[in-house]
């Protein structure tokens, strides 16, 4: 049950659901001052005096009531620069006379029973929203707070409106700022690179500013748009954690600042590197939404709140909790070098196994036989397919499967018809060679005509053929922050305008084809962010499908994204990248921890492997509802030891499935017990694999020791079934 309460007498706002409270008040400063975010409490707190932060000569200011306050000590909900507050500012507005000081004052609030969307940007659905207005003579800033009823998550964003008669420049506009109680904290973030995404880094937070960011024009794998701040004693299921995620796919920054007095605050939003936005009189600027999570149950509790927020309130509803296709994708088996015969062999090999969708990857269009050509020309290469696309689709259908197709809509190769017709449509800086990556340039999505052209071209292919699934790739970061269509004074808008254009493009294609499942991809998980999940229910987690690497990548990604969004495929052994030789059934067990598929040459499978696939798929389908709608508990971290283990438990505690992988078989290395989670301590469960029936408490607190076979990357799956009825 969600409630937003305002106390007129103390000018205090309370947002609460059954488990958490977020509170702030309008203090002497005339600005919203943070009071609390955490476990649900009563309505007693009011804005108070703050210690002056140990400063020798603190800057003091006088409030409208004649009270003196110290701006640098106030835990503002929005920090503003150059008025004696030295925290990271959340908003910098520059006027044409050069001034950057903005003295805003609270003027009023509104409550929405239904959360309004953020114009032009993806955002959470559902919940209730509080908006408060802060005004100066010519600028109105609106802070939005939305609270959900089924998880410890709150969404925040900011709107800036120019109500004056002259244009101003916004040099920074973050989405949120949150002070957390003084304490000793660690930062937890996800760093990496393509094929090594979502690596967990946990470091003590020292004085100064710790930043995770991207300046790449997309979110990227180097730093994910996520940061957690946790009590230094917090563990997987214990301790206080604050988690922050951005529903944004462009350059971002999230910062944790520890000030001299020991106070810690977190803020973030669009990266202000190479950003400035010209706001004309009457115009508004909306920041992306940030998701703030509180957990008193460690990192696991934080993850489960993110999972619920994204699964139930972000991912397109029609797919969120529905069974997903099980695909066979040809990429790892063929790369560009496929023939009609080869493709048909792969389809034949998958037919009748339970695999239900064939996905034709890169190389089917234009002159696309390697990375240097063809992107931008979305016309079927019938010579390479040995017939029309409809012929191929009919063949797939005749084998009882549906059809999916790969696109990389945002890009263009110089060697393409599109580039020859519209060289100015690529992002580029005048008089400079545009920088190529993977042989390609980025189309300028800040231009509506480019967005329209791409939408028409992709929709033409999709509508002209029976396509059920689209893999939407994006294989490079942006480098050129320059659009030939924008005037000089607006060039620093290019990156953000590009992202707005990307979202407009998604709307034009995804909304027009509501029955198609779109899977995101960016050289694997280089754009695994909440902005993408608003449009696409799942994302290809990594091009690295080696089991050893995948235990870490999947474990790390689950920190802030639901496993139901993590596309995972069974690929060949030895692995194409790492050459590790791993058991077929173990590869399946790990790949079946998210929406799954196969990506290997099914024509080359052994008789035993072929016979195993239907059984693997039955097992996956049986646990799929848990992946879609159950709770995830991480039990053993591959970042800390030799075992990956996690468990999905049904919300009604009727069952659970535990999967463990021992990465290296070290002769005679002892195996530690694992402690299942999410069962009802007082109910009895049958461990299907051994036939033992025990109370949930016994399974969870006494643990269970997996019997690994003596081989590398052995996987064990344990089913805990309700034994009470």
Residues that bind ligand GLA (CB under 6 A): 331, 361-362, 406, 473, 475, 521, 523-524, 540, 543
CB nearest ligand GLA: which residue?
362
CB 185 within 8 A of CB 232: yes
Rounded to a whole number of angstroms, the minimum distance from the CB of residue 240 to ligand GLA is 37
Identify which of residues 332 and 714 has a Cβ nearer to ligand GLA in the complex.
332
3-state secondary structure of 601: coil
Rounded to a whole number of angstroms, the minimum distance from the CB of residue 599 to ligand GLA is 8
CB 25 within 8 A of CB 14: no
How many Cα atoms sit within 13 Å of 390 on the Cβ side?
A: 3
Through-space distance between the first and last CA atoms of the chain, rounded to whole angstroms: 31
Among residues 36, 17, 23, 3, which one has the least CA distance to residue 240?
36
Task: Quote the CA–CA distance of 498 and 504 in Å, as a whole number.
Answer: 10
Rounded to a whole number of angstroms, the minimum distance from the CB of residue 642 to ligand GLA is 28
Identify which of residues 369 and 680 has a Cβ nearer to ligand GLA in the complex.
369
Phi, psi of 289 (to 5 degrees): -85, 140
Task: Quote the CA–CA distance of 477 and 362 in Å, as a whole number.
Answer: 19
3-state secondary structure of 54: coil
3-state secondary structure of 635: strand
CB 125 within 8 A of CB 313: yes
Rounded to a whole number of angstroms, the minimum distance from the CB of residue 218 to ligand GLA is 14
Task: Quote the CA–CA distance of 443 and 412 in Å, as a whole number.
Answer: 6
Identify which of residues 329 and 659 has a Cβ nearer to ligand GLA in the complex.
329
Phi, psi of 514 (to 5 degrees): -65, -20
Identify which of residues 361 and 480 has a Cβ nearer to ligand GLA in the complex.
361
Identify which of residues 523 and 629 has a Cβ nearer to ligand GLA in the complex.
523
**Residues 6-15, buried b or exposed e (16+ Cβ, 10 A)?**
eeeeebbbbb
Task: Quote the CA–CA distance of 168 and 270 in Å, as a whole number.
Answer: 18
Per the listing, tokens 């463990």 go with 660
CB 527 within 8 A of CB 539: yes
Task: Quote the CA–CA distance of 198 and 224 in Å, as a whole number.
Answer: 7
Rounded to a whole number of angstroms, the minimum distance from the CB of residue 437 to ligand GLA is 12
Rounded to a whole number of angstroms, the minimum distance from the CB of residue 476 to ligand GLA is 10
Catalytic residue numbers, as ranges? 473, 543
DSSP per position, 96-122: TTS------EEEEEEEESSPPPPTTS-
Identify which of residues 24 and 406 has a Cβ nearer to ligand GLA in the complex.
406
Identify which of residues 213 and 361 has a Cβ nearer to ligand GLA in the complex.
361
Rounded to a whole number of angstroms, the minimum distance from the CB of residue 331 to ligand GLA is 5
Identify which of residues 521 and 623 has a Cβ nearer to ligand GLA in the complex.
521
Count helices and strands in the chain by DSSP H and E runs: 14, 38
CB 354 within 8 A of CB 360: no
Rounded to a whole number of angstroms, the minimum distance from the CB of residue 587 to ligand GLA is 17
Task: Quote the CA–CA distance of 253 and 272 in Å, as a whole number.
Answer: 8
Rounded to a whole number of angstroms, the minimum distance from the CB of residue 523 to ligand GLA is 5
Identify which of residues 518 and 699 has a Cβ nearer to ligand GLA in the complex.
518
Phi, psi of 202 (to 5 degrees): -120, 120
Q: Give the CA-trace dihedral at 252, 258, 259, 263, to 10 degrees.
A: 110
């Amino acid at each position: 049950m969600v409630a937003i309460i305002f106390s007129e007498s103390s000018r205090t706002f309370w947002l609460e659901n059954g488990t958490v409270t977020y509170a702030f008040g309008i203090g002497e400063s005339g600005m919203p001052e943070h009071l609390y975010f955490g476990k649900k409490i009563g309505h007693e707190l009011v804005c108070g005096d703050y210690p002056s932060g140990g400063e020798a000569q603190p800057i003091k200011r006088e409030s409208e009531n004649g009270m003196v306050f110290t701006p640098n000590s106030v835990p503002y909900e929005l920090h503003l620069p150059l008025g004696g507050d030295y925290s990271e500012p959340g908003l910098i507005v520059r006027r044409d006379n050069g001034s950057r000081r903005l003295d805003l004052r609270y003027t009023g609030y509104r409550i929405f029973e239904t959360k309004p969307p953020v114009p032009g940007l993806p955002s959470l659905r559902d919940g209730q929203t509080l908006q408060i207005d802060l005004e100066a003579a010519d600028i109105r800033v609106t802070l939005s707070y939305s609270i959900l009823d089924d998880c410890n998550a709150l969404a925040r964003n900011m709107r800036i409106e120019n109500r004056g008669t002259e244009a101003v420049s916004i040099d920074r506009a973050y989405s949120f700022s949150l002070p957390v109680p003084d304490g000793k904290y660690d930062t937890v973030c996800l760093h990496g690179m393509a094929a090594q995404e979502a690596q967990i880094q946990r470091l003590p937070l020292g004085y100064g500013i710790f930043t995770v960011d991207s300046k790449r024009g997309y979110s990227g794998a180097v730093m994910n748009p996520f940061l957690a701040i946790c009590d230094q004693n917090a563990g997987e299921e214990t301790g206080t954690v604050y988690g922050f995620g951005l529903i944004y796919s462009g350059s971002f920054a999230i910062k944790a600042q520890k000030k001299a007095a020991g106070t810690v605050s977190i803020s973030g939003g669009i990266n202000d590197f190479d950003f400035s936005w010209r706001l004309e009189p009457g115009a508004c600027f909306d920041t992306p939404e940030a998701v703030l999570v509180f957990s008193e149950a460690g990192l696991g509790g934080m993850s489960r709140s993110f999972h619920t927020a994204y699964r139930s309130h972000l991912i397109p509803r029609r797919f969120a909790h529905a069974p997903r296709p099980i695909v066979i994708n040809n990429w790892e088996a063929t790369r560009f070098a496929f023939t009609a015969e080869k493709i048909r062999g792969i389809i034949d090999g998958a037919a009748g196994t339970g695999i239900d969708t064939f996905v034709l990857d890169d190389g089917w269009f234009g002159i696309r036989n390697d990375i240097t050509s063809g992107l931008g020309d979305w016309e079927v290469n019938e010579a390479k397919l040995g017939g029309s696309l409809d012929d191929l689709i009919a063949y797939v259908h005749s084998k009882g499967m549906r059809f999916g197709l790969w696109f990389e809509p945002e890009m263009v190769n110089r060697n393409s018809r599109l580039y020859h017709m519209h060289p100015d449509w690529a992002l580029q800086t005048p008089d400079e060679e545009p920088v190529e990556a993977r042989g390609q340039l980025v189309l300028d999505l800040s231009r509506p005509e480019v967005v329209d052209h791409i939408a028409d071209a992709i929709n033409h292919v999709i509508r002209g053929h029976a396509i059920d699934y689209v893999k939407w790739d994006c294989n490079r970061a942006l480098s050129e922050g320059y659009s030939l269509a924008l005037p000089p004074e607006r060039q620093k808008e290019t990156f953000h305008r590009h992202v707005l254009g990307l979202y407009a493009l998604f709307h034009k294609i995804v909304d027009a084809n509501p029955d198609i499942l779109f899977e995101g991809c960016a050289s694997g998980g280089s754009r695994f962010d909440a902005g993408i999940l608003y449009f696409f229910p799942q994302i290809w987690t990594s091009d690295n499908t080696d089991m050893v690497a995948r235990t870490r990548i999947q474990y790390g990604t689950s920190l802030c994204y639901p496993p139901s969004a993590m596309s995972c495929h069974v690929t060949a052994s030895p692995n194409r990248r790492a050459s590790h030789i791993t058991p077929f059934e173990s590869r399946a067990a790990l790949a079946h921890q998210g929406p799954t598929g196969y990506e290997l040459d099914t024509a080359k499978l052994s008789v035993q492997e072929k016979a195993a696939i239907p059984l693997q798929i039955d097992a996956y389908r049986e646990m799929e509802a848990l992946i879609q709608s159950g709770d995830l508990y991480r039990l053993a971290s591959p970042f800390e030891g030799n075992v990956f283990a996690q468990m999905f438990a049904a919300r009604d505690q009727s069952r659970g499935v535990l999967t463990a992988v021992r990465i290296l078989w070290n002769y005679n290395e002892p195996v530690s017990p694992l402690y299942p989670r999410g069962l009802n301590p007082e109910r009895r469960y049958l461990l299907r694999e051994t036939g033992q029936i025990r109370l949930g408490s016994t399974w969870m607190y006494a643990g269970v020791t997996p019997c690994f076979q003596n081989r590398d990357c052995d996987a064990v799956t344990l089913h805990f079934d309700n034994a009470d009825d």
